[in-house]
Amino acid sequence: MKNIIYPMHCAPRCGAKTRSGHPCKSPAIHGKARCRMHGGKSTGRPSTPSSKFRKAHLEDRRKFRAMLKQLKGLTDALKRN
């Protein structure tokens, strides 16, 4: 039987060291040096929360601070009496 060489077999291999100590040899993700099991798919740090959620968060903080200020004013008023 003839050994057929498929293009996918010529793809760059993952060089990650497996637990057995040998290189992984799985096909690497296109443009990456590692296979999908060894971080080839990783895009680095997780994306930041969308600006929409960040805005909502900041708005909540602003409201909370305003509420605290009101409470402080109330307690100060109570202390005076």
Where on the chain is the footprint of Zn ion (CB under 5 A)? 14, 16, 24, 26, 35, 37-38
Chain centre distance of CA 24: 24
Shortest Å, Cβ 7 to Zn ion: 19
How many angstroms separate the most distant Cα atoms in the chain? 100
Nearer to Zn ion, 11 or 16 (CB): 16
Q: For Zn ion, which is the closer residue by CB, 11 or 24?
A: 24
Minimum separation from the CB atom of position 14 to Zn ion (A):
3
Considering the complex, state which of residue 25 and residue 54 has its C-beta at the smaller distance from Zn ion.
25
DSSP string computed for 6-40: -GGGGSPBP--B-TTSSB--SBPPTTSSS-GGGTT
- Read off the tokens for 13: 């291999």
Minimal distance in Å, beta carbon 44 to Zn ion? 18
